[in-house]
A and B are shown apart, each in its own frame.
Chain A
Amino acid sequence: MNQDAIKELLYKMADDLLILGHRNSEWTGLGPILEEDIAFSSMAQDKIGQSQALFEILHSLGEQEPDIVAFMRNANQFHNSQFVELPNGEYDFSTIRHFLFDHADQLRFEMLSNSLFEPLAKLSRKIKGELKYHVFHANIWVTKLGNGNEESHSRMQNALNECWNFALGIFEESQFERQLIEEKIFEGEVELKKRWLENISGILEKANLKIPNTNTWQAINGGRQGKHTPNLQPLLDEMSEVFKIDASAEW
């Protein structure tokens, strides 16, 4: 199997989860109701744990240890989509991002549970069970707030508009796309995006929210190749502030 292709796939998935998990954890203590503080914290813990598991697979392929990889790289070495690094904004933005990202991630892990790269297939079968609950949570809140009152509806619609092109950036294709598909490691971003659109369309309709007009669609790419918004480096500086005091020490 093409190791470079596998590594590229693992890095972008692990980085997405690490960065979004970090963002989700920023809601701790600040949610609109206590129950949502708790929910975002649970999802953050799952995501960080999932990213750690993916970094473990990378480590088994010869990359450095998860802590070193996660805490010692600079922004231009990260492969996450720009979408996940954006600041949390208000609860509308965070909820729409959670909805759009987790639907894609659930499908990604579902597809990968049949991967011929067995370590990833095995992990994916475990993770897709966790993601089921993230997607339930997102669906309930998007539907509830989309239909709540005028303010909540317009906030959610604005957030969806704001998120949309960034969300399309989740599906930025890798240079190894063809190899991944041919070797039956991953069915590819195009297929994932197609299924994602099918899944979210029904929920958004129930939520009374409209997907932006297709002629405005323009994926915000670059994240997968290390191009990021100015939001990522400060996040990483904060994340590694203590670790970098002495990266060789046990913390």
Chain B
Amino acid sequence: MYGNAYIDPNEKSNSITDGEDIQKLNAFESRISNGEKIEPKDWMPKEYRKQLVRMIEQHAHSEIIGALPEGTWITRAPGFRRKLALMAKVQDEVGHAQLLYSAAETLGKSREAMINDLITGKSKYSNVFNYPAYTWADACIIAWLIDAGAIINQVANAKGSYGPYCRALDRICVEESFHLKYGHDNVVTLATGSKIQREMVQAALNRWWPPIMHFFGPSDKISLHTEILMKWKVKMATNDDMRQQFLNMYVPKIWDLGLTVPDSKLMKNNENKWEYTEPDWDEFKRVINGGGPCNAERLAVRRNAEERGRWVRQALLAKDSKYLIPLA
């Protein structure tokens, strides 16, 4: 799963292409407009590299941090079938992180440096994972609707311009589509189950609706910066377009299950657009900057895992450690 990379609309934009070789820049842009992919050793503008590293890295971090709220439910999943499926799903998410860190490494930043920036709080991950999964139903809603949002985002990004990222996303999207089925099956089971189960899943939807609406990020301000990133196929769709697409695909499915979306203003207008209560963007910014209910805990868990595993990584680096031929 994944949350949309947050692009600060106030970032200075006039210097994006300063100092770049105009001929090379033109050739680069015409390759992208012809639908070609940019590969690791190709020439690319500094800002393109910087934005991609930031975006792929955030995506990778979101996968491993996202494994935490769902991972806590592996040990509590009800029954063999759910336990096995959730283990496989969360394992996929960790696998996605591995793929994505590798894709980002092709742009020159090591996995260690990225993880270090994660645990020191320098780089971000998707905001949704700063909320707690209180019940089993929360884990089910995450698996269905957060993964659904992620797919919309990733299918768009898979058509981007950077080859290694697109290829990683193609594979990730296939796996995510199974997660979506898994999540939907869980939610259907609860929504059509006993009274307690139906209440659990409605309460979870109520809790997760605001983070879901935040998921795609605030409306993009049209700035030169956004325009260039879209021209370079780094950013593939506006946040509002993706949010509309999500509502279009999933609100009817939620209603079909007899669940209520906790937003009385939610409706489709005459122009076929969804209207909704504007999410609380101050809250979004507060959470992104560390003030959410789980930010400190998530980073503490990750930091602790890094510290506890350090001796293993150091032992692997030991110069005199023998090279081992697999014993097969």
Contact = CB atoms under 8 A, between A and B. Distances in A.
Interface of A: 22, 25-26, 28-38, 41-42, 44-45, 48-49, 52, 66-67, 70-71, 90-91, 136, 139-140, 143-145, 147-149, 151-152, 155, 235, 238-239, 241-243, 245-246, 249-251
B178 to A, nearest CB: 14
B117 to A, nearest CB: 16
B12 to A, nearest CB: 35
Contacts of A66: 80
A149 B320 CA distance: 8
A250 B193 contact: yes
A152 B98 contact: no
Contacts of B327: 136, 139-140
Given A91-B312, A251-B79, 16 more contacts: A25-B74, A25-B83, A29-B67, A29-B305, A31-B309, A33-B313, A34-B97, A34-B101, A91-B308, A136-B326, A140-B326, A140-B327, A145-B315, A147-B322, A148-B316, A239-B75
B182 to A, nearest CB: 13
Interface size classification for chain B? 35 or more
Interface of B: 64, 67-68, 71, 74-80, 82-84, 87-88, 90-91, 94-95, 97-98, 101, 136, 189, 193-194, 196-197, 301, 305, 308-316, 318, 321-322, 324, 326-328
A41 B314 contact: no
A29 B64 contact: yes
Contacts of B136: 242, 251
Contacts of A235: 75
A250 B136 CA distance: 13
A144 B324 contact: yes
Contacts of B311: 32, 151-152, 155
Given A28-B71, A29-B94, A243 B78 contact: yes
Q: Shortest 5 CB-CB distances between A and B: which pairs?
A: A32-B309, A148-B315, A152-B315, A32-B312, A251-B78
9 contacts: A26-B75, A31-B305, A38-B98, A136-B327, A136-B328, A139-B327, A148-B315, A149-B315, A250-B189
Nearest to B88: A45
Contact of A48 (B76, B87, B309): B87
Nearest to B311: A151
A41 B91 contact: yes
Contacts of A22: 75
